[in-house]
Amino acid sequence: MTHLDFQNVWSVASKDFETFKRRKGIIYATVAFPLGIALGFPGVVAAIAYAYPSTTSASVASFSPFLNAFSFWFVIGAASLPSGIASYSVVGEKIQKSLEPLLATPMTDGEILLGKSIACFVPPMVSIWISSVIYMILMDALTRPWLGFLYYPNWTFVTIVLLLAPLASVLTIELTVLLSARANDIRSVQQFTGVLFFPFIVIYVMTELDVIKFDVTNLLIMSGIFLVGDILLFYLSTATFKREEILTRWK
Amino acid sequence: MIETKNLTRKFGDLTAVDDLTLRVDEEEVFGFLGPNGAGKTTTIRMLACLISKTSGTATVGDYDIGNGADQQKIRRIIGLVPDNVGLYEELTAYKNLDFYGRYYKVEENRRRERIEYFLKMLGLWEKRDVAAGTFSKGMKQKLAIARALVHDPEVLFLDEPTANLDPEAAKTVRDFILDLKKEKKTIFLNTHNLDEAQRICDRIAILNTKLMALGTPAELERSTSGRRITVQLESVNDLIVSAAKRAGAGDVEVVGGNRLVITVGNPEKENPDILSAILGAGGRIQFVTEVNSTLEEVYLKLVKGQ
The pLDDT of residue B306 is 58
Q: Which of B74, B78, B103 to mutate to test the interface with A (most CBs of A within 10 A)?
A: B103
User: What is the C-alpha R_g of chain A?
Assistant: 20
Q: How far apart are CA A65 and CA A71, in angstroms?
A: 10
Contact A104 B88 (CB under 8 A): no
pLDDT reported for residue A239:
85
C-alpha triplet A40, A46, A49: angle, nearest 5°: 145
Instruction: Tell whether A56 lies on the interface with B, counting CB pairs under 8 A.
Output: no
What distance in Å separates residue B175's CA from the closest CA in chain A?
A: 23
For residue B261, how many other CB atoms are within 10 A of its CB? 15
Query: Which of A96, A97, A101 has its CB closest to that of B80?
Result: A101
Query: b/e for A7-44, b at 16 or more Cβ within 10 A?
Result: ebbbbbbbbbebbbeeeeebeebbbebbbebbeebbee
- Predicted local confidence at residue A195, as pLDDT: 76
Residues of B in contact with A108 (CB under 8 A): 72
A22 touches chain B (CB under 8 A): yes
Interface check B295 vs A, CB under 8 A: no
Contacts of B50 in chain A (CB under 8 A): 100, 103-104, 243-244, 247
CB of B17 within 8 Å of a chain A CB? The answer is no
Question: Mutating which of B9, B47, B84, B90 best tests the A interface, going by the most A Cβ atoms within 10 A?
Answer: B90
Task: Sort out which chain A residues have CB atoms less than 8 A from B100's CB and list them.
Answer: 101, 105
For residues B189 and B200, what is the distance between their CA atoms, to the nearest angstrom? 9
Cis peptide before B167 (omega within 30 of 0): no
Closest approach of B208 to chain A, Cα-based (Å): 20
Cβ <8 Å between B78 and A104:
yes
Return per-residue pLDDT of chain A as tens, 251 residues: 567 889 999 999 999 999 988 888 888 989 999 999 999 999 988 888 788 777 677 776 677 777 888 888 999 999 988 888 888 888 888 888 898 999 999 999 889 999 999 999 999 999 999 999 999 999 999 888 888 888 899 999 999 999 999 999 999 998 888 887 777 777 777 777 777 778 888 888 888 777 888 788 989 999 999 999 999 988 888 888 888 888 887 76
Find the closest chain A residue to B77 by CA distance.
Answer: A106
State the distance between the two ends of chain A, measured CA to CA, in whole angstroms: 25
- Residues 94-113 on A with a CB inside 8 Å of B are 96-108
Contacts of B75 in chain A (CB under 8 A): 104-106
ipTM here: 0.83
Q: What is the mean pLDDT of chain B?
A: 89
- DSSP for B47-92 reads HTTSS--SEEEEEETTEETT-HHHHHHHHHHEEEE-SS----TTSB
pLDDT attached to residue A18:
92
In angstroms, what separates the C-alpha of A44 from chain B's closest C-alpha? 40
What is the radius of gyration, based on Cα positions, of chain B?
24
A chain contacts of residue B148, beta-carbon cutoff 8 Å: 101
Chain A residues lying within 8 Å of B85, measured CB to CB: 97, 101
Subunit contact A15:B85, Cβ cutoff 8 A: no
Tell me which residue in A11, A99, A244 faces B51 most closely, judged by beta carbons: A244
Of all residues in chain B, the one with the smallest CA distance to A14 is: B99
Which positions of chain B have pLDDT values less than 70?
223-226, 249, 293, 305-306
pLDDT score of B224? 62
Q: B75 and A99 in contact by Cβ < 8 A? A: no
Classify residue A91 by its DSSP letter: I
Q: What is the pLDDT of residue A251?
A: 62
A98: nearest CB among B45, B86, B104: B86
**Which residue does chain A place closest to B47, by CA atoms?**
A104
Yes or no, beta carbons of A107 and B103 under 8 Å apart: yes
Show residues of chain B in contact with A12, CB under 8 Å.
103
What is the layout of strands, in order, in the sheet containing B252-255? Answer: B252-255, B259-264, B227-233, B285-291
